[in-house]
Amino acid sequence: MLAYVVFNPLFERLGAGGLVAPESDGPIEPIAEQIKKGARVMWVGAHPDDESFCGSLLAYTSIACKSPLHFVVLTRGDGGGAAIPIPEGMTVADVRAGELQKVAKLYNASLALNSYYNAPLPVESFPKRHELARMWIDKEDPALWIAREIRTFKPDIVLTFSPRYGATGHPEHQLTARFCLSAVRLAAEDNPALEGEPFKVRNTYFVLMKYWFLRLGGMRRDPFPPTDQFVIKTPCDATRTCAQVGADNTLPHETQYPDMSAMRTATSLLHKQYLHWVDPWKVQYDPLEPVAKGGMGADMK
């Protein structure tokens, strides 16, 4: 996922093109200011450990600012393998779910965890993205499930992956973002499949990986331009920055040790978290849109 160790902090501080205007009308208050004022934040990810991609911002939310935080995770990570022995009578999914519960507790976050299909490694064997989408929909439309969580938690801010590349090119990251955008719309509309009152999320963001060194690990950078950024070395608690807290909070993910070790190394070198604000009513991505191939980097158009 993050097989890289070389990085130039000065280059990263210069940014990934700077802040740009979003595709929809603004203005937008910086996300850090929204959270500082008590904004409720929901993270929507595909797998246990995906929260590590924005751990510093999540730490700022729930630890530095003590704002409400909720994790919504679609799979139990059973396709991801394990770097440690799995106890007898348990599955990889059981262990990874338990790891995520520990992480959520460290973030003082509530957690909703589902069990949608998680394509098993190796990457080359992944089904195509739209095939995965159909498998998920056959279980239950993920957009409806996420919309229920939105109506229950009532977030001011929703964070998810980008729908075209998804940080690492993983098709399930891309799908999570696509279903999440639909869910934000569904939660705000009258819908007999949803209980409770309609609720409109104030701001939705894609969490971006914009760092040049991703190419060292054979990955690409998310194609969306950043519209906001968070300084991850903002003080978080009495002794640590938000970056340090986010890195420390990856430690329970023992089954994913190689990836999490790389994530901790990278976090110590980064300076900013890049975000792209999106209007889900003006920007939509179909989960069932056909792609030519599966695996990493399935869609950059």
The pLDDT tens digits along the chain (301 residues) read 333 222 333 323 333 333 444 445 544 799 999 999 999 999 999 999 999 999 999 999 999 999 999 999 999 999 998 999 999 999 999 999 999 999 999 999 999 999 999 999 888 899 999 999 999 999 999 999 999 999 999 999 999 999 999 999 999 999 999 999 999 999 999 999 999 999 999 999 999 998 765 555 566 788 999 999 999 999 999 999 999 999 999 999 999 999 999 999 988 888 999 999 999 999 999 999 998 765 555 554 4
Give pLDDT, residue 299: 55
What size, in residues, is the chain?
Answer: 301
Tell me how many degrees the CA angle 58-78-1 measures, rounded to the nearest 5.
55
**Can you tell me whether residue 70 is helix, strand or coil?**
strand
Structure tokens at 141: 């439309």
Give pLDDT, residue 294: 57
**Look-up of token digits 């194609």:** 223
d(CA 257, CA 248): 13
d(CA 166, CA 188): 25
Encode burial over 261-295: b for 16+ CB neighbours within 10 A, e otherwise.
Answer: ebbbebbebbbbbbbbbbebeebebebeeeeeebb
Give pLDDT, residue 28: 73
Q: Which domains does the chain have, with CATH numbers?
A: 9-278 (3.40.50.10320)
Number of other residues whose CB lies within 10 A of the CB of residue 195: 9
Please say whether the dihedral angle defined by the alpha carbons of residues 241, 246, 250 and 252, taken in this order, is positive or negative.
positive
Cβ pair 73, 112 in contact under 8 A: yes
Cβ contacts of residue 295 below 8 Å, gap of 6+? 123, 124, 126, 169, 171
Give pLDDT, residue 266: 86
Greatest Cα-to-Cα distance within the chain, rounded to the nearest angstrom: 54
Give pLDDT, residue 124: 86
Give pLDDT, residue 300: 47
d(CA 213, CA 67): 32
Give pLDDT, residue 268: 84
Helices (H) and strands (E) in the chain, counts: 9, 7
Short-list 76, 72, 74, 77, CA closest to 41:
72
pTM for this model (two decimals)? 0.90
Cβ pair 71, 62 in contact under 8 A: no
Strands 157-160 and 228-231: unpaired
Give pLDDT, residue 217: 59
125 class by beta-carbon count within 10 Å (0-12 exposed, 13-18 middle, 19+ buried): exposed
pLDDT in tens, 113-142: 999 999 998 888 999 999 999 999 999 999
